[in-house]
Amino acid sequence: MAARLFLVTFCLILLSGKIEVFSEDFVILVIQPQDVRYAWSLDKITLTVEWAIDDLGDRGLFNSLGTNTVFRVLSLDSECSQYRTNLKLTYLYYEQRLRPSVIIGPTDVFTVAEASRLGTHWKVPVITAGGPASTFREDEFQGAPMLTRVGHTDNKLAKAVGSLLSHFNWTRVALVYRDSKSKCHGSTCFFRIKAIKDMLNETKTANITMERTDGPDGQVDLDSAMKDVAEVARVVITCTPISDLQEMMRAAKNRGMTDGRFVFIAIDPEFEGMYYGTHLWKTGPVGLWPLNRKNNAKDVSKSYRGRKGDRCIWVGNWNNGTMANTEYAEGPDGVSSVVFTGSPVSKMVIPNNGSILDVRQSLTVLVKINGSVNGNGTIFSYDGSGMELRQQDGKGLSARFVRRDGHFLKQVKKDDVLTPDEWNYIGVSYDYRTGIAKLWHDGKEVAGESIGIVDLRTQGDITVGEQFKGRITCLQVYNYAMDDSQIEAAKDACEDRKDEFVDSCDEEELLEAFRSVLAITLRKPATEEFKDFVKKLEDRGVKENHYVTAYHDSMVLFATALNETIAAGANPADLKENGSLILKNMWNRTFQGAGKDNISIDELGDRDTDYTIVEMDKESGNFKPFWDYMGFTKTLKQVNPNQTMDWPGATPPDPEPCGLRGSNGVPPTEDCPSKSLT
């Protein structure tokens, strides 16, 4: 075997001794956050890069390098902090005198900026699957000469949006966007929309007649935004958390804007499969127990059963519980709550007949508790040693996850988070698409861990409050993983009147409203080879996502370019001193990535990313691919030529109907002929 692989994982903060690196080694430095909640966490990417090197070695890619060559993979925790990343990299470079041959990562936009600056200074190539902001190729970064982007970039996405707009001749565009506040996801939507604005300014494909985002004085009012959209635009481009998209579509529906005259182009902020096959319109819980004097142990949740004329028919789920040895006391916000005494016989039991309470895959459980000082007890649990949520030593919160067959998976814990003797709005969620379980407190994520993609043990009856000393109220169970905005919105789901049984048409109306939505997400290769790649990754313990795949391809690109550069006569020692020499063979080329997918890197070092545009299937409520946008050829290709688009108004929205107000220097459309004339 030509090349040997050594892996040295270290965390710089704990570093004391010198790292041994020999002059003939190629140092692959992986920088990512250690926090496993991220789809691009250090362990996942390091494992993937390691595997890619093994695989490339087996395929003979390193034969030109000579037998002494060693690839040393080092990994570094970016902590998603620009400052910490700078500190660690400069320490490594100047103190340890360790010069990476290539940096793989980081991912979030601000740390990529930092790594890219240092990479430029040191002539070290930086390859990322993140850092999508279009600003990197602008003067501010001198074009980021050492940065190669192998994932999605906002400038390429903007081109996909532009091609969709021109396909339909859509010209009057409103932009509505908000960023969710989270450390590793800084200003995602801001940069994404900026790239779209720049594209429209450059290509003149359409005019922006309105723009709304959060101001210093608070969140954007989506209802008033829809009111203004109706007057000036026909296309709304959005980038928001899920609950905002639901609220926007609800507002649009209420204003009669979902009849086919408008189209909403939704950009999935993280491309984590948020739209693909997801029931975005789904809002209600599968179980809702207000747990107060009025409702006792009654379940007031309901399921949609169709429509009769103007009325939506809902049937109660009625998974009523039974209380034993409990009392009522004052609850939060003046409503009553249930008191559990802390003994094993004081509890509520909810029968689970294997229907909707057996959620099996994704779930969210939300509940309000006022637990005692030093309390230990079950807040919520599926019997038969299934999934369980507990108060631990007064202030701790823990959730146990168990596979369907009873195999224990993991305990997710957070110490010192509950305030005993006060009301705490807590929750636990598990997302089957990412394999990540999270704990929530007062609407904020407080812990998260990867537990794998599994079916959960949720088939048993549910017990509430066993050995728990304190008060519990407003228990909610959902069969999907909520994000922070949805959890915040569900906080008052048990408030008076909301807990009453009303035949509202909300979910059905949302489903109807989402027919006006087209969502843009990343294209995944549909080949057998790609399935094989996913399977092999899983055998290595890594669940595929678009970041993991792009980082795999980053290593392939670097190794391929290295092989070619050396084969063309370059001296490996020079390549280590000056990474610019390899870049020539990395840019303006195509290569085969995971699953033999053809990947093209443009002349500026950005991938010509492919996207998929999905629409909702009105029968199933699932989103399904309709077009692929092919980045290299810059064309839209219908996924299945036999399909026809489901437009709520039978035809695509008219781009320039009469009677639209002008804005931003755009003239109004003509006056409509008055009714009396027609």
Ligand X SMILES: *[C@@H]1O[C@H](CO)[C@@H](O)[C@H](O)[C@H]1NC(C)=O
Residue placing its CB nearer to ligand X in the complex, 142 or 219: 142
376 makes contact with ligand X (CB under 6 A): yes
Give, in order, the Cα–Cα distances in Å from 138 to each of 19, 132, 134, 142, 604. Answer: 37, 13, 7, 6, 11
Which residue, 394 or 443, is less far from ligand X as judged by CB? 394
Residue 73 Cβ vs ligand X, minimum distance, rounded to whole Å:
20
Omega before 525 within 30 of 0, i.e. cis:
no
596: part of which helix (H) or strand (E)? none
Could you tell me which stretch among 78-86, 168-176, 263-271, 436-444 binds ligand X (CB under 6 A)?
A: 168-176
Tell me the pairing of strands 408-414 and 396-402. Answer: antiparallel
Interacting stretch for ligand X, rule CB under 6 A, among 72-80, 125-133, 202-210, 272-280? Answer: 202-210
Angle 233-238-244 (CA atoms, 0-180°, nearest 5)? 115
Q: Using CA atoms, how far apart are residues 383 and 130, in angstroms rounded to an integer?
A: 42
- In angstroms, what CA-CA distances link 366 with 121, 442, 513? 50, 10, 27
353 lines the binding site for ligand X (CB under 6 A): yes
| 355 in contact with ligand X (CB under 6 A) | yes
Cα–Cα distance for residue pair 645/673, rounded to 1 Å: 31
Which residues within the stretch 109-128 sit at the binding site for ligand X (CB under 6 A)? 123
Q: Which is nearer to ligand X, 130 or 653 (CB)?
A: 653
* CB of 533 vs ligand X, minimal distance in Å: 12
Report how many residues bind ligand X under the rule CB under 6 A. 46
Helix (H, G, I), strand (E, B) or coil at 400: strand
- Which residue sits closest to ligand X, CB atoms considered? 567
Structure tokens at 540: 């290595």
Cβ at position 305, least distance to ligand X in Å: 10
Instruction: State the minimum distance, in angstroms, from the CB of residue 78 to ligand X.
Output: 27
Q: CB of residue 124 vs ligand X: minimum separation in angstroms? A: 11
Residue 509: which residues within 8 A CB-CB, separation 6 or more? Answer: 250, 253
322 binds ligand X (CB under 6 A): no
Measured between alpha carbons, how far is 101 from 110 in angstroms, rounded to an integer?
A: 22
* Min dist. Cβ of residue 608 to ligand X (A): 13
Closer CB to ligand X, 97 or 596, in the complex: 596
Output the smallest distance, CB 471 to ligand X, in A: 5
Tell me which residue of 185, 8, 12 sits closest to 87, measured CA to CA.
Answer: 12
Nearer to ligand X, 217 or 603 (CB): 603
Contact 421, 373 (CB under 8 A): yes
Closest CA to 358 of 467, 243, 460, 206: 460
Rounded-to-integer distance, Cα 381 and Cα 386, Å: 7
Q: Where are the beta strands (DSSP E) in 547-607?
A: 589-592, 598-601
169 is a site residue for ligand X (CB under 6 A): yes
Separation CA 320–CA 350 (nearest Å): 6
Q: Which is nearer to ligand X, 67 or 355 (CB)?
A: 355
| 588 part of the interface to ligand X, by CB under 6 A | yes
Report if residue 298 touches ligand X, rule: CB under 6 A. yes
- Tell the residue number behind the tokens 């939505």, with chain if given: 517
One residue of 580, 600, 622, 638 binding ligand X per CB under 6 A: 580
Stretch that binds ligand X, among 44-52, 59-67, 270-278, 621-629 (CB under 6 A): 59-67
Least separation in angstroms between residue 84's CB and ligand X is 28
What minimum distance in Å lies between the beta carbon of 557 and ligand X?
Answer: 12
Q: Candidates 67, 322, 385, 578: give the one binding ligand X (CB under 6 A).
A: 578
Contacts of 6 (CB under 8 A, 6+ apart): 70, 71, 72, 73
| Residue from 61, 146, 161, 397 binding ligand X (CB under 6 A) | 61
Q: Which stretch binds ligand X (CB under 6 A): 248-256, 282-290, 314-322, 359-367?
A: 314-322
Alpha-carbon distances of 207 from 222, 226, 517, rounded to whole Å: 21, 18, 20
Interacting residue with ligand X among 224, 527, 620, 635 (CB under 6 A):
527
334 binds ligand X (CB under 6 A): no
Give the H or E element holding residue 509. helix 506-513
502, 567, 645, 672: which one contacts ligand X (CB under 6 A)? 567
- Give the shortest CB-100-to-ligand X separation in angstroms: 16
Decide: is 171 part of the binding site for ligand X (CB under 6 A): yes
Give the helix/strand (H/E) hosting 182: none
Residue 138: partners with Cβ closer than 8 Å, 6 or more residues away:
none
Q: Work out whether 569 is an interface residue with ligand X (CB under 6 A).
A: no
What is the Cα–Cα distance from 54 to 637, expressed in whole angstroms?
36
CB 100 within 8 A of CB 124: yes
Q: Min. distance of Cβ 501 from ligand X in angstroms?
A: 9
Rounded to the nearest 5 degrees, what angle is found at the Cα of 378, between the Cα atoms of 360 and 427?
A: 60
- Which of 111, 163, 243, 319 is in the footprint of ligand X by CB under 6 A? 319
**494 vs 666, beta carbon nearer ligand X:** 666
**204 near ligand X (CB under 6 A):** yes
Q: State the minimum distance, in angstroms, from the CB of residue 176 to ligand X.
A: 18
Q: Is 657 in the site for ligand X (CB under 6 A)?
A: no
Token pair for residue 580?
A: 């610019």
Bridge partners (DSSP) of residue 437 are 430, 449
Residue 596 touches ligand X, criterion: CB under 6 A: yes
Site track 445-484 with ligand X (rule: CB under 6 A), x = hit: -------------------------xx-------------
In the region spanning residues 401 to 430, those forming contacts with ligand X, defined by CB under 6 A, are: 421-423
Which two three-digit tokens encode residue 380? 């919520």
Q: Is 651 in the site for ligand X (CB under 6 A)?
A: no
Any contact of residue 206 with ligand X (CB under 6 A)? yes
DSSP 394: T
Contact 386, 462 (CB under 8 A): no
Q: Which of 67, 90, 142, 201 binds ligand X (CB under 6 A)?
A: 201
User: Does residue 63 sit in helix, strand or coil?
Assistant: helix
CA angle 325, 327, 331 (to 5 degrees): 140
Quick note: the x/- pattern for ligand X over 19-58, rule CB under 6 A, is ----------------------------------------
Name which position in 256, 344, 384, 667 contacts ligand X (CB under 6 A). Answer: 667
Q: Which of 318, 531, 532, 659 binds ligand X (CB under 6 A)?
A: 318
Count the helices and strands in the chain (H runs, E runs): 13, 33
User: DSSP code of 637?
Assistant: E
Q: How far is CA 8 from CA 62, 73, 107, 193, 443, in A?
A: 20, 6, 21, 40, 38
Return the number of the residue (182 or 411) whose C-beta is nearest ligand X.
411
Judged by CB under 6 A, the residue of 187, 320, 325, 638 near ligand X is 320
Label the pairing between strands 235-239 and 172-177.
Answer: parallel
Task: Please identify which residue in 665, 673, 674, 675 interacts with ligand X, judged by CB under 6 A.
Answer: 665
Residues that bind ligand X (CB under 6 A): 59-61, 64, 123, 168-169, 171, 201, 204, 206-207, 298, 318-320, 330, 353, 355, 370, 372, 374, 376, 393, 421-423, 470-471, 527, 563, 567, 578, 580-581, 588, 596-598, 603, 640, 642, 652, 665-667
